[in-house]
């Protein structure tokens, strides 16, 4: 069949990414020719959904269709974008990281308590980043050396990080440090009436770096290779062991960065903050078209996923009469739609 030979030919060229096995589900084969390149399809569908939900919002609400609403999506979700980027790395290798929400909470607690005891802001940020990365690194080492499943190891890390928050303090600590307050209130003008916060720049920098790492470095290609098939990656002589550990360290680092951005956003440290944020991150990654089995997906897709979640929240706040719990139900429904979509677009893999 021509579709399969086409797929084989395109996968044979020297594309930077590893080729995906492109065997369409039986019965859907005849639809395959309408799908130009199914590697990008789910991302394109997410983009279409983003435009559609934004369009619906613009038509229904006065003042929704404005540049600042779009920029607010980035301002309000900068930390979630960074989290989703880290999660994308882990999920691409076929793993999962449940600890990210707790690490965000731990980061806010460490930052708030160190600032209260008079540390300078740069050293505080360095400490937070080092702690997050170390925790991620330890999780990676445990997963690799002791063959513990990622689900259980990151679950233990989630409990550990959350518990350490309580060890630091059970009360909310507010931040009065001038630098942090400045970062929270600063707005960078982009044009008439358009402003972004410094956090957005940090988040975009993380996205760009992650994109470059995933697509233009050996580590990035190994990440995709592990997700497609750990055995074959090992047989190809790729550094599977190192990459698997590094991926969790990256996720820990991203969680710590997200934690710092979250303190810029809330100006406080609190043990019970960011409960369930790991679910938002996973949902964003899935809606962004990354396969939870690993091997297929893009960082930019995850960013789109975060923006979709943000648009839904904005619509619900514009509606006013809708209660906040509808957000969760809508996110659940969206997850379902995208998972079914992935099921249709991609072959069953063992």
Partner 1 sequence: MTSPISTSRVSGMLRDALRSRLIWPVLALVALLVTNVIKSPGFLSIRIQDGHLFGSLIDILRNGAPIVLVALGMTLVIATRGIDLSVGAVVAISGAFALSIVGDAPDPNDLGVVLFAVGASLVFALVLGSWNGFLVSVLGIQPIIATLILMTAGRGIAMLITEGQILTVSSAPYKVIGGGYWFALPASIIIAAALFILVAVLTRKTALGMLIESVGINPEASRLAGVSSRVIIWTVYTFSAVCAAIAGLMISSNVTAADANSAGLWIEMDAILAVVLGGTSLAGGRYSLTGTLIGAFVIQTLTTTVYSVGIAPEITLVFKALVVIAVCLLQSPRVRGFSGRSHRTPPPVAGVAAGASTPAPSPSMPAAQTKATM
Q: Which is nearer to partner 1, 213 or 312 (CB)?
A: 312
Binder of partner 1 out of 23, 127, 141, 155 (CB under 8 A):
155
Can you state the percent helix, strand and coil of the chain, rounding each to 5? 70, 5, 25
Backbone angles phi, psi at 313, to 5 degrees: -65, -40
Tokens for 46, please give them: 């997410």
Please tell me whether residue 241 binds partner 1 under the rule CB under 8 A: no
Q: Which is nearer to partner 1, 157 or 260 (CB)?
A: 157
Q: Which is nearer to partner 1, 81 or 158 (CB)?
A: 158
**CA-wise closest residue to 33 among 1, 61, 73:** 1
Q: Which is nearer to partner 1, 206 or 291 (CB)?
A: 291
Q: Is 184 exposed, middle or buried (0-12, 13-18, 19+ CB in 10 A)?
A: middle
- Shortest Cβ distance from residue 233 to partner 1 (Å)? 20
Is the Cβ–Cβ distance between 180 and 264 less than 8 Å?
Answer: yes
Please tell me whether residue 28 binds partner 1 under the rule CB under 8 A: no
Binder of partner 1 out of 48, 205, 212, 333 (CB under 8 A):
333
Please tell me whether residue 231 binds partner 1 under the rule CB under 8 A: no
Q: Which is nearer to partner 1, 159 or 216 (CB)?
A: 159
* The one segment of 77-85, 120-128, 138-146, 177-185 that binds partner 1 by CB under 8 A: 138-146
Binder of partner 1 out of 163, 176, 235, 242 (CB under 8 A):
163
Count of residues of this chain found to bind partner 1 when the rule CB under 8 A is applied: 46
Binder of partner 1 out of 271, 290, 296, 314 (CB under 8 A):
271
Please tell me whether residue 322 binds partner 1 under the rule CB under 8 A: no
Q: What angle do CA 295, 298, 301 make, to 5 degrees?
A: 135
Instruction: List binders of partner 1 among 278-317 (CB under 8 A).
Output: 279, 282-283, 286, 292-293
Please tell me whether residue 34 binds partner 1 under the rule CB under 8 A: no
Please tell me whether residue 325 binds partner 1 under the rule CB under 8 A: yes
CB proximity list for 174: less than 8 A, separation 6 or greater: 112, 267, 268
SS3 64: coil
Q: Which is nearer to partner 1, 167 or 186 (CB)?
A: 167
- Binding flags for partner 1, 76-115, as an x/- string (CB under 8 A): --------------------x-------------------
Please tell me whether residue 65 binds partner 1 under the rule CB under 8 A: no
Query: DSSP strand E in 130-262: where?
Result: 173-174, 188-191, 194-196
Q: How far apart are CA 80 and CA 259, in angstroms?
A: 10
Please tell me whether residue 328 binds partner 1 under the rule CB under 8 A: yes
Please tell me whether residue 339 binds partner 1 under the rule CB under 8 A: yes
Binder of partner 1 out of 87, 105, 153, 225 (CB under 8 A):
153
Provide long-range contacts, Cβ within 8 A and 24+ apart, for 327-336: 331/280, 331/283, 334/49, 334/283, 334/287, 334/308, 335/283, 335/286, 335/287
SS3 95: coil
Buried b / exposed e along 108-134 (16+ C-beta atoms within 10 A): bbbbbbbbeeebebeebbebbbebbbe
Name the residues that contact partner 1, by CB under 8 A: 96, 142, 145-149, 151-153, 155-160, 162-164, 166-167, 170, 271, 275, 279, 282-283, 286, 292-293, 323-329, 331-333, 335-336, 339-340, 343, 348
């Amino acid at each position: 069949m021509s579709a399969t030979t086409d797929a084989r030919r395109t996968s044979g060229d020297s594309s930077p990414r590893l080729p995906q096995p492109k065997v369409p589900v039986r019965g859907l084969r005849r639809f395959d020719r309408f799908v130009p390149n199914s590697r990008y399809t789910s991302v394109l569908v997410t983009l279409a959904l983003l435009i559609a939900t934004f369009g619906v919002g613009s038509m229904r609400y006065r003042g929704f269709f404005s540049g600042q609403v779009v920029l607010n999506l980035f301002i309000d979700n900068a930390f979630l974008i960074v989290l989703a980027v880290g999660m994308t790395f882990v999920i691409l290798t076929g793993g999962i990281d449940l600890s990210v929400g707790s690490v965000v909470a731990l980061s806010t607690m460490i930052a708030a308590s160190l600032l209260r005891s008079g540390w300078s802001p740069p050293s505080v940020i360095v400490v937070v980043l080092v702690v997050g990365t170390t925790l991620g690194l330890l999780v990676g080492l445990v997963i690799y050396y002791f063959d513990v499943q990622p689900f259980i190891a990151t679950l233990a890390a989630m409990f550990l990080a959350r518990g350490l928050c309580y060890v630091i303090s059970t009360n909310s600590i507010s931040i009065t440090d001038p630098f942090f307050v400045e970062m929270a209130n600063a707005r960078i003008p982009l044009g008439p009436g358009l402003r972004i916060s410094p956090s957005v720049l940090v988040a975009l920098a993380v996205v760009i770096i992650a994109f470059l790492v995933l697509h233009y470095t050996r580590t990035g290609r190994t990440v995709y290779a592990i997700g497609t098939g750990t055995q074959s990656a090992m047989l190809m002589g790729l550094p599977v062991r190192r990459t698997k550990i590094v991926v969790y360290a990256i996720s820990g680092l991203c969680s710590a960065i997200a934690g710092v951005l979250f303190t810029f956003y809330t100006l406080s440290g609190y043990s019970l903050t960011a409960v369930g944020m790991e679910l938002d991150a996973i949902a964003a990654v899935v809606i962004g078209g990354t396969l939870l089995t690993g091997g297929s997906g893009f960082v930019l897709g995850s960013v789109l996923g975060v923006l979709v979640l943000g648009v839904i929240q904005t619509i619900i706040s514009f509606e006013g009469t809708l209660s906040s719990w509808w957000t969760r139900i809508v996110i659940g429904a969206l997850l379902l739609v995208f998972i079914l979509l992935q099921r249709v677009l991609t072959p069953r893999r063992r």
